[in-house]
Amino acid sequence: MLLRTSTPYIYTILLLLGTLTSTATAQTPNLKPNTSSSTTDFTGVTILQLPDGIPELNNDTVGSSFGDTLDVAKHPPGALEPAALSFEDQKSLAKPSFYTLKQGRFLAQISNVKTALPTPESSPKAVPSPETLEVEISQPLAEVKTPPRTLREAGLLQEILTPENAAPTEEIRAATKQTAPSARVRSQRFLPRIGAEFTTGSGVGYESSFGSIGGFVPLWQNSDNLTFLEGRLLLSTEDSHISSNIVLGHRFYSAKDNRILGGYVAFDTRDTGNSNFNQLGAGFESLGENWDIRANAYIPVGDTRQLTQERVFSTGLSFSDPFFQGNFLGQTRNQQLQRDRNFEAAMAGFDVEAGVKIAQLGQTGDLRGYAGLYYYDAPDSAEILGWRTRLEARPTDTFRLGLLLSNDATFGTNLVLSVGANFPGTRPRGIRKEDRVLARLGESVTRNANIVVDEQSESESFSVQDTVFVTNPATGQPWRFRHVNLGIGTGNGTFENPTATVAEALAVAQSNDIVYVQPGTNLGVPAFKIPDQVQVFSTGPVQRIDTVELGNLQLPLSNAGVLPDVTGTVTMGNMTTLSGFAISATTGSGIAGSNISNAIIRDNAIANSASEGILLENVTGQILIQDNAIANSALEGFSLSNNQGQVNLILVKNTIANNGALANEGDGINLELRNTATGTFNISENTITGSNSFGSIADGVEVKLFESASGTFTLTNNQITANQFSGINIELESNTLGTFEIANSTISGNQFDGISIKLNDSATGTFNITNTQISKNGFYGIGILLSNNTSGTFNITNSTIAENQDNGVNIALSDAAIGTVNISNNQQISKNGFYGIFTSINGNAQLQFLSESNQIIDNAFTGLSLNSYDTAKIFAGVRLNTITGSAIGDLEAITSGSGDTICLQPRNNTIGNFFLNDSFGGAIQIETGTLSTNNISTSDLSNWSGTTVPAGTCGFP
């Protein structure tokens, strides 16, 4: 609390100070100054005896007016001398004076007092009036009992300073107990402080910049010694990992050498993100005004080398041939491996440096430069010997800057900048500016903040040999086999103990099993049904399976060449496979599947079946029919009939021959879709031939869509020859929709059409026939028939249509059918028995026809004949063709109805004979200016009405 008072307590304190005066007038205390000594040249405070009547001060001591802790002395009792507080140059100093009552619980502050030095020639100035004094007392003074007579009894101590201007008189020396004029008692107090610093990276043993916060705590101190504790937390800016330092140090000041000697022990931690390290440290330092020496040692403790990453990878892999073991397929695996491991190792080491003061900065700051060496080592690391040099600037004792340059063979060259600040400063309170070395007792220890960590790597190669069972990639489980050795096995289906019959193996087979059949005595396998998700293989053909370990792998024992005989029908299940059997079903189909999905039939020989070779009904999903030989079936070689569902049929690389007994439907391939059935069909690389048996009804490929069914059909690279009916027969009826691609095939020698296409009852179809040879067929090369309200688009390109016994291409439209036919870039439409291309358009049908860039030559009747009847219409573009060599005519257009029309654009053709006739009715319209563009050998236009129409009327550019 702050008081304004005139109590005797305050007056008593003023009496103790002796010569405190003020410009205000007041009664002078009853003190006699010592005029025999020259106190005007003495800076300090002497001790005087309290007069009688001064109250007891409760064992508190009057201390320094500057807040420092100084050595004190007690005046011997009995002396009654003046006291003086002197200031430099004997000038009056208007400054608050602070007094501490030291040995007790009280604190008093007297402020706003002017003090002046009394001289021998004058009396002490008046003590300020008590009313002008402000006293702050932390606790009230205790009640006075018996007043002390001396300072010793009162327990009062005050500082004693050596005079700076002139030597004190002997009388003063005696009074103060100083033994020599040069004696000096220093006073300082280092305070706790906090600080922060930022250091850039990378540096020796670390990569990232880091920030730190820390504290400095004096534990014990006197005028020449300081024991302290210093701690810091470091935070990496790159990954926010924390490290720490704690340092216990002691320094002492040698006044004789004006130098500080010190040492410390430390404990450090570091988190690199991958490892945690601990380290002990110790160091020595010698600090002076102009030069310094430091040495630090670092000793990691605990786990000093830690694994941060390990990677094992294969450098080579070899396998033995696969072998069966039990119910599994195994291989001996020899794997060459390499192990790469990365470590972090804390490095032990030391550093030494020496430095000099380069410049003084202000009153208390300086700039110092240092140079030194460092050495680090760790097991499995190269020894590191490097140098470093640094600058350290301390403009004030609260701010510092550092710049360090280091180089070594491991960490390279690093330039590190640091900036730090602390509060309060490192200098003690009350220290004089000339005591610069003494003030350095409180500096922070200079050492490596981070534990030095080296990144190490090592590699080793080794091999591993083991037996692995190959894995089914679809299930992630090892493939399991049920072994059969027909007529010989007596066991339970392992490789070592196979069963004797397929039925025994199927009885124990589970999902994803393979029943693997060796022919044994091959007595003939009766009919059997394959359970869902089971595969039945024989060792006859090459058998391959997909594996996780080895990719697509050929099974041991396969490709033996002998197909076990099956005398009955094999019935497929869902997701089943049949491969490698000779099937001759005496009753029924060779292979059958009904209401199943996802089946595979491959590498079988199916012959002499009592009905179809393969019969599938209402199947869905993916059906693969591959590499089978189907022959001499009483009905179709392959038949698929669906009433619903969607199927994806892949029928490739099969040989289908001589199917269909006399008067039976014996197509090589028969596909029928009804109702809502739909699908995609890929029929490729098959050889489909017939026996040419008179009277059989057998197309090479027959596709029929009924009752709103739809499908997309691709027939490529097939050889379809010598069938009793058409090579390919396509029928679309009753609102069906079909898209067909026929390409890169040979269709020849069939007894009816090479390709026969029929659309009826609102069916719609698109047909692309490309790069196909259609020749020597018994009727049309390509026959197109559209009736009722059907719609069809036909593109015939890059093909050879030759030597067919009737027309090369026959196009017939009736009723309200609409057709678009584009015939282009065909190398040969030639040597056909009647017309090269013949169109017959009846009723209200309409045909848009384009013949472009074709070679239509040497046909028995006419090369290209356009014929319309009734009210039909033909819009024809005939361009860039060579139409020559036919026996009767080359290009003709004939109308025969009451309202039929042929709109013709003949342009840039080479025509042997050109004939137009609309005399029977209807009209032939020629686009203006087109006739003259043709090279016509002979023409007969006598029966043409001469009607012309503007260019573009016929619908072609």
Contact 418, 448 (CB under 8 A): no
Contact 669, 700 (CB under 8 A): yes
> Does 716 score more than 60 pLDDT?
yes
- Rounded to whole angstroms, the Cα distance separating 39 from 33 reads 10
> Does 138 score more than 60 pLDDT?
no
- Rounded to whole angstroms, the Cα distance separating 760 from 764 reads 9
330, 327, 331: which is closest to 481 by C-alpha?
327
User: How do residues 539-558 score in pLDDT, each as one tens digit?
Assistant: 999 999 999 988 999 999 99
770, 709, 702: which is closest to 738 by C-alpha?
709
User: In the predicted model, what is the mean pLDDT of residues 695-705?
Assistant: 87
Percentage of the residues of the chain whose pLDDT score is greater than 90? 72
DSSP label at residue 666: -
Handedness of CA 223, 445, 399, 216 (dihedral sign): negative
- Rounded to whole angstroms, the Cα distance separating 837 from 117 reads 142
| Beta bridge partner(s), residue 215 | 194, 231
Contact 453, 344 (CB under 8 A): yes
pLDDT for res 662: 58
User: In the predicted model, what is the mean pLDDT of residues 217-233?
Assistant: 95
Contact 421, 412 (CB under 8 A): no
Say how far residue 175 (Cα) sits from the centre of its chain: 87
* Pick from 88-92, 588-592, 762-766: least confident: 88-92
* Pick from 454-468, 651-665, 941-955: least confident: 651-665
pLDDT for res 80: 32
- Rounded to whole angstroms, the Cα distance separating 898 from 921 reads 5
Mean pLDDT rounded to a whole number for the chain: 83
- Rounded to whole angstroms, the Cα distance separating 414 from 201 reads 8
* Encoded tokens for 275: 């490892």
DSSP 349-366: EEEEEEEEEEEEETTTEE
User: How do residues 865-912 score in pLDDT, each as one tens digit?
Assistant: 999 999 999 999 999 999 999 999 999 999 999 899 999 999 999 999
User: In the predicted model, what is the mean pLDDT of residues 244-266?
Assistant: 96
DSSP 207-246: -S-EEEEEEEEEEEE-SSEEEEEEEEEEEETTT--EEEEE
873, 667, 888: which is closest to 756 by C-alpha?
667
- Rounded to whole angstroms, the Cα distance separating 932 from 685 reads 47
pLDDT for res 676: 96
* Pick from 174-188, 637-651, 931-945: least confident: 174-188
- Rounded to whole angstroms, the Cα distance separating 392 from 381 reads 31
pTM of the model: 0.61
More confidently predicted of 49 and 570: 570
pLDDT for res 16: 35
Say how far residue 452 (Cα) sits from the centre of its chain: 32
* φ/ψ (deg, to 5) at 109: -125, 125
* CATH no. for 193-305+345-455: 2.40.160.160
The CA dihedral of 103, 109, 115, 121, to the nearest 10 degrees, is -40
Residue type, 929: G
- In order of 662, 702, 732, 849, the CA distances from 823 in angstroms are 37, 24, 22, 8
User: How do residues 469-496 score in pLDDT, each as one tens digit?
Assistant: 999 999 999 999 999 999 998 899 999 9
Contact 479, 545 (CB under 8 A): yes
- For the chain, domain boundaries: 1-185, 193-305+345-455, 568-749, 780-957
User: How do residues 73-130 score in pLDDT, each as one tens digit?
Assistant: 333 333 333 333 333 333 333 333 333 333 333 333 333 333 333 434 434 333 333 3
Q: How far apart are the first and last CA of the chain?
A: 114
DSSP 246-288: EEEEEEEEETTTTEEEEEEEEEEEEE-SS-EEEEEEEEEEEEE
- Rounded to whole angstroms, the Cα distance separating 786 from 845 reads 9
* Pick from 69-73, 437-441, 531-535, 807-811: least confident: 69-73
pLDDT for res 663: 61
Assess whether the previous peptide bond of 322 is cis (omega < 30° from 0): no
